Structure 1
Amino acid sequence: MFFHQRFVPGLAIYSYMIGDPKSKEAVVIDPTRDVEDFLRLARSEGYRITHIMETHVHADFVSGSAELKARTGATVHVSGLGGPEWTPPYADRVLRDRDDLLLGNLRLEAIHTPGHTLEHLTWAVYDQPRSREVPALLLTGDFLFVGDVGRPDLLGAEMQKILAHQLYKSVFSVLPAFPDFTEVYPGHGAGSLCGKALGARPSTTLGYERRFSPALRQKPEAEWIADLLAGMPIAPAYFSRMKQVNARGPRIIGPELPGQRPLSASDLYHRRCENCLILDVRPKEAFAAAAIPGSINIPLGANLPTWAGWVLPYDRPIILVINQPADLPEVVTHLLRVGLDDIQGYLDGGIDAWETAGYPLERVQTLSVHELDQQLQRGSPPFVLDVRTEAEWQAGHIPGAIHIHGGLLQQRLQQVPKDRPVAVVCGSGYRASIATSYLKSVGYSSVSNVLGGMAAWKAAGLPLATD
């Protein structure tokens, strides 16, 4: 059996390609929208991608199944167990519980494991020359992770009750049929928001999880559900949008990435792209030194797609300000993964071209932690906005600070005053740069990024509150 696991950092997505060495047919499971990696792999290994499978309708990224089908003609298999609302239109085969697929000497069986979603499937993979009765491995999608199970709270309070009950049954009624040595390959790893305690290892075994995962320790259902939901991280607002995009079927991108058009500084200044949002992906230090007024900074890195989904509106075209042209494919790929498709182009020559043309620049104010501490001891201190997670906040924060998770800033903007200076703090400065740029883009004039964030504050021995 040919087996390949692909990992996308940041969104922490695992996708898979499995092939039969004799027939040279391959199936791809839960692909992301950037399918070129699988096409290259298939060519290099001499396989034909003949089938595509999904475990469920994803919430955190745009599925690549329709894209891969358009490029290969492969047959798409999806669950129909959530009803028509959650059955994507690009499906060629709609599956029920225990339906299977034969791929040469391999057999893949769909096992209904609802709880994260209504329609969720786990794929049991049988390497038949070795065993027709015991699967070689399970592809568990967002049902079972390393150290955790999928969250049941992404479809609202009413559905949460139904899904949590189903998840309990899936864990304690379906999984016991498989032996301890069964290998488990999940749909996400550490960093994903599809659970609360995902491990960093790429795979596990059922026996290890039964012994060490709190989520697999049986207890009364109500107690188990309460423990599961306690401390669950906030789900990004874009998750609900991704569910709908995937249920309807995303737009086909094709082999050419969007956003390849260079735009002059003059084009950008004179608003040739009407209602465009300027996304600056340069490092936070470069953005602070010189930026186009109104632009939003999300520095290029593994977390770009998550924060783009959190912060950027989906109804505005995007123009990119990049550090160097070689960064463009990576930036565009990150945005496409979370459904930000309308990328009109990039600033030709970067910020240097803008500055050379004599167009206005703005600089982001910065504060050292010592400067902030001095200001807080004066009579009219700044409004300190902490944009970290709830767990980080509870572990220690600046006395008198106000906590608003950076991803919720748009919804709670009325809590941030415009009539006094605002100092934004996060763990080290990355999220604060995003929040600072967003506040300035919506009219806040006196906003500062606290350099080094809480890491610098703690290292300086400055006071902490935990209330």
Structure 2
Amino acid sequence: MKIEQIYTGCLAEAAYYIESAGEVAIIDPLREPQPYIDRATADGARIKYVLETHFHADFVSGHLELAAKTGATIVFGPTAQPNYDAHIAQDGEILTLGRVQIKVLHTPGHTMESSTFLLIDEAGQEQAIFTGDTLFIGDVGRPDLAVKSDLSREDLAGYLYDSLYTKILPLPDSLIVYPGHGAGSACGKNMSKETTDTLGNQKRFNYALQAKAKAEFVREVLTGLNTPPQYFPKNAVLNKMGYDSVDTVLKQGTQALSPGAFEAAANEVEALVLDVRDAQTFAKGFIPNAINIGLEGQFAGWVGTLVTDLKQPILLVAPEGREEEAVLRLARVGYDNCIGYLQGGFAAWVADGRPADTIESISAGDFADRFAAQPDLKVLDVRRRSEFESEHVVGAENFPLDFINANMAQLNRAETYYLHCGSGYRSMTAASILRARGFENLVEVAGGFAAIKATGKLTLTDYVCPTTLL
């Protein structure tokens, strides 16, 4: 028997490969099927099952294409009602995989169809649980993401309590917990950077498993939940109803366009020009009105947070050789309408004599000197509120990137704004959005709050500024 966790850091998502006696089960695969097919081929095995723990909200699963290309059976837990052929397992049903068994445990709460898969080895011993978004390392799944549910989040949290305390906690402490996500995912609020643990450790150290009663559990789990990204319910619907082949999406998105064709396409369909180069490269020169969301950060999650229409036509400016990667990462979160990329990149645009824009970016030291000399500078800290409340520059306003579209009207286009985040990734994204909306006087602080703090030149505080913009 083989168990492999296939972890994708930019989405903080874990898929799983289980093989026994030439038969394979894939749990919660990403959009692209070929890596799983190649892995099974290397083992001389066939993919028998594609097991889905629930209708995912934070990414588009690859279950449909993987099943279509391999003949595997898609399996959901009880109450799932997908718009395609799948086996809807009963609670407690046993699936045979080679010489091992997988027991389906219905664990509603995160969503009503959520299920956990219990792996039983060749000797009949319970070895591991694949918990999806029911149980994380250090946390549990948020109970407010159900698709078209008439249940309140308090109702769902109650179901989650019952699932954990009656289905999961009675299992042996020795079981290995394999969750669906790790730190960085918006599917929980307190996830560990560790991506596996024993159930015994989770019983002792997971805050959500310490509740003495259901009411206490519900209160603890619901306290401190941030608003989920706007694309979450849209991805859940795609996973439930179906979607286009990723091969089709890649073929369309990887069309190379000359500068002239690129500009014509942008004008014809009002495409979003998405520049995925790193922040400092972008600052030195970019196509006017382009938005910068760099591939090196949590690219897909920020696209999903900031681009509100999954069908938005997108044109890419990417580092050479990374165009297909960008299209694929967009497709993983349901943005399937990429219509091409700029052949030759930004250099080709400039060589063709076309207009370019820049954003001023200064070092943290220069920013500290300017702010010390002129303390009435308008400083926008675009980190999340929780980060800002933990520590920030005295006098800065909290202007979270997550809510920039809603809060932009509160800014004055005549002012000069200095923007920083934690490291410089989000602040350049914010600056590019503001520039595209007509804000000319912007200065981005390279390196963000970490670099500002390291200068030791400015006063920092954990006092919550009353001008936090939400």
Q: Same fold by TM (over 0.5)? A: yes
Structure 2 counterpart of 1:350: 345
Q: Which residue of 2 aligns with 1:188?
A: 181
Distance across 2 between alignment mates of 1:7 and 1:345: 28
CA deviation after TM superposition for structure 1 residue 370, in Å: 4.7
Per the alignment, residue 315 of structure 1 pairs with 311
Q: Which runs of 5 or more structure 2 residues have no equivalent in the other structure?
A: 464-470
Count of residue correspondences? 457
Residues 254 and 327 of structure 2 are in contact (CA less than 8 Å); yes or no, is this contact kept in structure 1? no
Tell me the alpha carbon deviations over residues 299-321 of structure 1, each in whole angstroms, 9 at most, x when there is no partner. 11251111111122423211111
Q: 1:296 to 1:74 in 2, by over 3 A?
A: same
Using the TM superposition, name which of 107-116 and 170-179 deviates more: 170-179
The one of 168, 171, 175 aligned to 1:175 = 168
Q: Superposed, which structure 2 residues align to 1:218-297 within 5 Å?
A: 218-254=211-247, 257-258=250-251, 259-271=253-265, 273-297=268-292
Return closer, same or farther for 1:44/1:302 CA change in 2, 3 Å cut-off.
farther
One-letter amino acid of the structure 2 residue matched with residue 45 of structure 1: D
SS in 2 for 1:282: coil
Assess if the C-alpha contact under 8 Å between 1:67 and 1:254 holds in 2: no
Instruction: Name the SS of the counterpart of 1:116 in structure 2.
Output: coil
C-alpha separation in 2, matches of 1:387 and 1:202: 28
Equivalent residue number for residue 120 of structure 2? 126
Output the amino acid matched with 1:267. Answer: A
**Paired position in structure 2 for 1:164:** 157
Q: Are residues 369 and 158 of structure 1, via their aligned partners in 2, closer, same or farther at CA, if it must alter by over 3 Å?
A: farther
- The one-letter amino acid of 1:278's match is V
Matched letter for residue 172 of structure 2: P
Give the partner amino acid of 1:292.
I
Match of 1:400 in 2: 395
* Per-residue deviation, residues 230-280 of structure 1 (Å, max 9, x unmatched): 333442111121112212112222388232211001112334652111111
Q: For 1:226, what is the secondary structure of its paired residue? A: helix
SS in 2 for 1:355: helix
Q: Match for residue 14 of structure 1? A: 14
Distance 1:68 1:235 in 2: 28
Distance 2:284 2:18 in 1: 48
Preserved CA contact (<8 Å) 2:368 2:452: no
The answer for the alignment partner of 1:423 in structure 2 is 418
Once residues 275 and 440 of structure 2 are traced to their aligned partners in structure 1, the CA distance between those partners, rounded to angstroms, is: 19
CA deviation after TM superposition for structure 1 residue 282, in Å: 0.9
The answer to whether the 8 Å contact 1:76/1:90 transfers is no
Question: How is 1:341-380 mapped onto 2 (pairs within 5 angstroms)?
Answer: 341-373=336-368, 375-376=370-371
Identity of aligned residues (%): 36
Counterpart position of 1:138: 129
State the partner residue of 2:192. 199
The yes-or-no answer on 1:61 pairing with 2:50 is no
- How far residue 158 of structure 1 moved from its aligned partner, in angstroms, is 5.4
- In structure 2, relative to structure 1, the CA distance for the partners of 1:344 and 1:432 (3 Å cut) is same
Partner SS for 1:125: strand
Aligned residue in 2 for 1:75: 73
Q: Distance in 2 between matches of 1:434 and 1:334?
A: 17
Q: Which residue of 2 aligns with 1:2?
A: 2
Q: Identify which of 208, 223, 226 aligns with 1:215.
A: 208
In 1, distance between residues paired with 2:264 and 2:167?
Answer: 61
1:211 and 1:380 map into 2 onto residues whose CA distance is 48
Shift of 1:375: 5.0
Deviation at 1:429, TM superposition (A): 0.7
Q: In structure 1, how many angstroms separate the alpha carbons of the residues matched to 2:338 and 2:248?
A: 15
Matched residue, 1:104: 98
Question: What is the SS of the residue equivalent to 2:432?
Answer: helix
Partner deviation per Cα, 1:303-357 (whole Å, 9 max, x = no partner): 1111111122423211111111x21222122111111111111101111111011
Which residue of the other structure, out of 301, 306, 319, is the alignment partner of 1:306? 301
Structure 2 residue 458 is the aligned partner of structure 1 residue 460? no
Q: 1:454 to 1:379 in 2, by over 3 A?
A: closer
- The worse-fitting range, judged by mean Cα deviation, of 376-385 and 350-359 is 376-385
Which deviations, in whole Å up to 9, do the C-alpha atoms of 1:158-203 show, x marking residues without a partner?
A: 5211111111111212123311111211111222121122122231
Moved more, 300-309 or 31-40: 300-309
Q: Indicate if the aligned counterparts of 1:382 and 1:420 stay in contact, CA closer than 8 A.
A: no
Q: Distance in 2 between matches of 1:209 and 1:53?
A: 24
Matched, 1:445 2:440: yes
Q: CA deviation at 1:107?
A: 1.7
The verdict on how the C-alpha distance between 1:213 and 1:108 changes in structure 2, with shifts beyond 3 A counting, is same
Task: For 1:50, give the aligned amino acid.
Answer: K
Equivalent residue for 1:116? 110
Quote the Cα distance in structure 2 between the aligned partners of 1:379 and 1:208.
52
**TM-score under structure 1 length normalisation:** 0.92
Query: Which of the residues 123, 134, 139 maps onto 1:148?
Result: 139
Structure 1 contact 172–218 (Cα < 8 Å) conserved: no
AA paired with 2:258?
A: S
Give the deviation of 1:414 after TM superposition.
Answer: 1.7
Cα distance in 2 between the residues matched to 1:114 and 1:150: 10
1:328 match: 323
Q: Secondary structure at the match of 1:145?
A: coil
Kindly tell me: are residues 252 and 269 of structure 1, through their superposed partners in 2, closer, same or farther at Cα, counting changes over 3 Å? closer
